[in-house]
Structure 1
Amino acid sequence: MLRSVADYPMAGYHQGIHQPGKFHLMTFADSEREGHDRHVPHRHDFFELVWLRTGSGRVCCDLEGYSFHANSLLILSPGQVHAWRFTSETQGQIVGFSPEFLAVNSEHPGLLAKMPFLYPEHLDPILYLDTREGERIDGLFAQLNDLAQVPAPGRDDVVRGFLLVLLSYMRQLYAHREQLAPRPRHENELLVQRFRLALEEHLPRVVEVGEFAELLNVSRTHLNNGLRRFTGRSASELIHERMLLEAKRRLLHSSLTIAEIAYELQFQDPSYFGRFFRKYTGVTPGEYRGTAQHEALAS
Structure 2
Amino acid sequence: MAALTKLLVVGVLRTRAARSITEPAALARADLHRRFRRLVEAHLREGWPVARFAASLGVSPDRLHAACTEAVRRSPQGILHDRLMLEAKRSLIYTTLPVSKIAFDLGFNDPAYFSRFFAARAGLSPAAFRRTNRGGET
Partner of 2:108: 267
Partner of 1:276: 117
Select the residue among 165, 168, 191 that pairs with 2:32: 191
Partner of 2:95: 254
Please say if residues 252 and 292 of structure 1, whose CA atoms lie closer than 8 Å, have aligned partners that are also in contact. Answer: yes
Q: Where does 1:200-219 land on structure 2 (aligned, <5 Å)?
A: 200-219=41-60
Structure 1: gaps spanning 5 or more residues: 1-183
Counterparts of 1:206 and 1:258, CA distance in 2: 17
Structure 2: gaps spanning 5 or more residues: 1-22
Amino acid at match of 1:241: D
Please say if residues 251 and 258 of structure 1, whose CA atoms lie closer than 8 Å, have aligned partners that are also in contact. Answer: yes
Counting matched residue pairs gives: 113
Counterparts of 1:264 and 1:195, CA distance in 2: 21
CA-CA distance at 1:207 after TM superposition: 2.6
Counterparts of 2:87 and 2:56, CA distance in 1: 21
Residue 123 (structure 2) pairs with residue 288 (structure 1) = no
Amino acid at match of 1:246: E
Residue 48 (structure 2) pairs with residue 228 (structure 1) = no
Please say if residues 92 and 126 of structure 2, whose CA atoms lie closer than 8 Å, have aligned partners that are also in contact. Answer: yes
Please say if residues 191 and 226 of structure 1, whose CA atoms lie closer than 8 Å, have aligned partners that are also in contact. Answer: yes
Counterparts of 2:38 and 2:52, CA distance in 1: 14
CA-CA distance at 1:276 after TM superposition: 0.5
CA-CA distance at 1:206 after TM superposition: 4.1
Partner of 1:243: 84
Report 1 or 2 for greater relative contact order, CA contacts < 8 Å, sequence distance ≥ 6: 2
Q: Which has the higher helix share?
A: 2
Give the ranges of 4+ consecutive aligned residues of structure 1 lying more than 4 Å apart after TM superposition: none
Please say if residues 206 and 212 of structure 1, whose CA atoms lie closer than 8 Å, have aligned partners that are also in contact. Answer: no
User: TM-score, normalised to structure 1's length?
Assistant: 0.36
Seq. identity, %: 35
SS in 1 for 2:46: coil
CA-CA distance at 1:238 after TM superposition: 0.4
Q: Where does 1:17-96 land on structure 2 (aligned, <5 Å)?
A: none
Counterparts of 1:241 and 1:207, CA distance in 2: 14
User: TM-score, normalised to structure 2's length?
Assistant: 0.75
